[in-house]
Structure formats: C-alpha cells, structure tokens
Structure 1
Amino acid sequence: MAQDRVEAVERALTVLEAFDSPREHFTLAELAHTTGFYKSTLLRLLSSLERYDYVQRGDDGRYRLGHTPVRLARRHLPSRQLAAWVQPVLNGLAERSGETSALLEVTAGHAECRLVTLPDNSLRHDLRPGMRWPIVHDHDPALELAGGFMLCQSLSPSSGGLSLWLTLSGPNGRLSQESAKRHLSDAVAELQRQPADDSKREAP
C-alpha cells in the first residue's frame, strides 16, 4: 500500500539494484545516471550504505558492493549447504593448482560466481562472489580474461537441478592447459562422488 512506503529505504534499495551488473565498480556520476538521483542525494544514501558495509568506496573514489550482501546471502540454507559441499574442494583445488578456483551458477544468459578460493599468488584472477557477466551459450560460461584463462566444467547431474560449474582461472603461461584441465577434472570427480543432496553432509 502507498502509505506503507518509506521513500528513503526505497531509494537506498534502488542504489543497491544498480550494482546488479557485470560491472564491478561505479563512479558517483555513473550511479547518478543509472538511478536518476542527484549526486547530493546519492552521497547521503551511499554514506549510510557504506556504514553498514553494503557498499565500499575505493581509494579511486569508485563504489563497489561491500561484504554485507554476500554475508546475508550465505545465511540462506541452500547456499550454506552448497558451501558445505563445494568450498572444501575449491580450497584444495586452489592450493594444488596455484590458481583461482570458483563455483559458477548459470541462469538466464548470465553466469554468477557463487563461491571462490583465491591462491596466495599476488598475480591472480581476483574473482569474488556476486560477480556476474553475460554469456552467449549456457554450455560455455567462461569469462574472457585479457592475458588469462578460465576453464569451466559442469557439475551436472549431481547439482540438484541447478546449472553449476566448477572453474579454474589465472594468468596465461603459469599453469599449462593440460595441468589445469587435470586439476579441474579431479575436483569435479571428487564432488560427484558425494552429490549435493547427500544427507550425511552437515551445513556449517
């Protein structure tokens, strides 16, 4: 009902909706163009959102999503079960390969990073949960990386009806394609030995 609306809350939610984009960072001017709000209004809204870590402001003045949206999303039971199933395998994959390992979900022409483990290397693919990008074919959700690679392998049919993919990504030349494919296949096989709906697994 109209009388139940809280305009400031709706404006803040409109700002958050602007981050549902393949782009990772936004300038104040870009957010103003996307939301239609004046910069002065945006600064007040962003200040409150930043205080609760819904957004973060970088040293270059650009804004990105903070940790709170990801933390709240992980409280959803299916996401917690998914993390209990996949995250240990991602950790092992990143440690053995020295590259970024991740879990993607493909829906409606987009791929979204659900879980990720970053290697200790300073030169790496800095993927993060919540990143989304458009894809042309559902059978190839790889993100095109300048000077790098992303290999993807489907987890079907052990993914409970979701279109889930395990990925390995990093700079070209450090890990051979053959080694990357072997590491990725071993990790997928490990997950498929214990399907996502295994009742013996406990969510954290």
Structure 2
Amino acid sequence: MAQDRVEAVERALTVLEAFDSPREHFTLAELALTTGFYKSTLLRLLGSLERYDYVQRGDDGRYRLGHTPVRLARRHLPSRQLAAWVQPVLDNLAARSGETAALLEVTLGHAECRLVTLPDSSLRHDMHPGMRWPIVDDDDPSLELPGGFMLCKSLDACMGGLSSWLTLSGPNGRVTRESAQRHLNDAVAELQRRPIDTPERGTP
C-alpha cells in the first residue's frame, strides 16, 4: 500500500538496480542518466550506500557494487547447495594431497575464499572462508605465498557463469607442482561427473 512506501529507500534501491548491468563501473553522470535522479540526490544516496558497502567509489570517481550484496547473496539456498556439492570434493582433495584445498570466487578484481578444507599437518597454508585478496589477472587468482605455492584450476565450465576456481596450496617441497596439478585435475573431473541437479549438490 502507498502508506507503506519509504521514498528514500525506494530511491536507494533504484540506484542499486542500475548496477544490474554488464557494465561494472558507472560515473555519477551515467547513474543520473540511468536512474533519472539529480546528481545532488544521487550523491546523498550513494554516500549512504557506500557507508554500508553496497557500493564503492574508485580513485577515478566511478562507482561499482560493494561487497555487501555478495555477502547477503551467499545466505540464499544456492550457496548452501554449492557447499553440499563442492565441500566433499575439497575434503577428498586435501586428504589425497596433504595440502590446503579451497574454492575461490573472483569478482571485481578480488579473489575470495568461499570454501576450504585444511590438511591435518601443522605446517600448512591457513585459509578461511571470507579471506580476500586483490588480483591483477582474472585468469590467475592465485595468492603469492612466500615459501609456498598456490595452484588454481578454473571451474567456469561447470559453475553456470560464475568465475570460480579450485585451488591447492601449501609449503614448497612437500608436493611437486606436477603432482598437485594432477590432484586438481582429478578433483575437477570428480565435480564434472556429478551433474548440477543431483542430490549430492543439495538440490531439494
């Protein structure tokens, strides 16, 4: 009903809707053209959205989505289905290799750990879900580890368009890169053998 509407909230949501676009960045002028709002109004709305990390303003003055929408989206059922599908494979990968196995997601120039299994060894690469780092190349989201390694294998072909990667990481010398790569390839093949709508992925 009309009395239940909050105009400022609806305006802020209109701004967020503008980012549902193939484009990742918008200038203030472009957002004004897209939303129909005056720049002065947009600046106030964007200031509040930026404060809660719904949007971010880059050094070049352009705006992009922040981390909060991604964080909230992970509470949705498909994220739990993703965990039901991938986590057993990570567990097997860590057990076979003796190294840290993780699922990464790449968005907005950053890689973020979504799921991880740590090996039993005390000497290991410690990761945790939510750990993030900037990347220069979307085709190589690996984290530089002094005295260690991280190998990445793309899962784009079986992730429905999400930029996701399976990784194996640990100290140098315990496992050869060739062996680590074989373990990664086997894990990807295991995921590909389980179609997206199987019960193992948690589909109701």
CA distance in 2, matches of 1:82, 1:3: 35
Aligned residue in 1 for 2:89: 89
Write the deviation string for residues 113-162 of structure 1: whole angstroms up to 9, x where unpaired: 00000000001000110011111111100000010000000012111110
Say if 1:74 and 1:2 are closer, same or farther in 2 by CA, change over 3 A.
closer
TM-score (norm 2): 0.63
Partner of 1:115: 115
Q: Which residue number in structure 2 is paired with residue 49 of structure 1?
A: none
**Partners of 2:199 and 2:164 in 1: how far apart?**
21
Aligned ranges 1:87-166 → 2 under 5 Å: 87-166=87-166
Structure 2 unaligned spans of 5+: 1-5, 10-50, 54-70
CA distance in 2, matches of 1:160, 1:176: 31
User: Which runs of 4 or more aligned residues in structure 1 lie more than 3 Å from their structure 2 counterparts after TM superposition?
Assistant: 1-4, 72-75, 199-202
Q: Does the aligned pair in 1 maintain the 2:82–2:201 contact within 8 Å?
A: no
- What is the CA RMSD across the aligned residues, in angstroms? 2.6
Alpha-carbon distance between aligned partners in 1 of 2:164 and 2:147, rounded to the nearest angstrom: 25
Q: Which structure: larger Rg?
A: 2
1:184: which partner in 2? 184
The share of aligned pairs that are identical, in percent, is: 72
**TM-score w.r.t. structure 1 length?**
0.63
**Which residue type is aligned with residue 88 of structure 1?**
P
Residues 21-52 of structure 1, C-alpha deviation per residue, up to 9 Å, x if partnerless? xxxxxxxxxxxxxxxxxxxxxxxxxxxxxxxx
Runs (5+) with no aligned partner, structure 1: 5-13, 18-69
Give distance in 1, aligned partners of 2:88 and 2:141: 22
Cα distance change on mapping 1:186 and 1:108 into 2, 3 Å:
same
Contact 1:112–1:131 (CA<8 Å) still a contact in 2?
yes
AA in 2 matched with 1:117: T
Does the 8 A contact of 1:155 with 1:192 survive in 2? no
The letter for the 1-side match of 2:113 is C
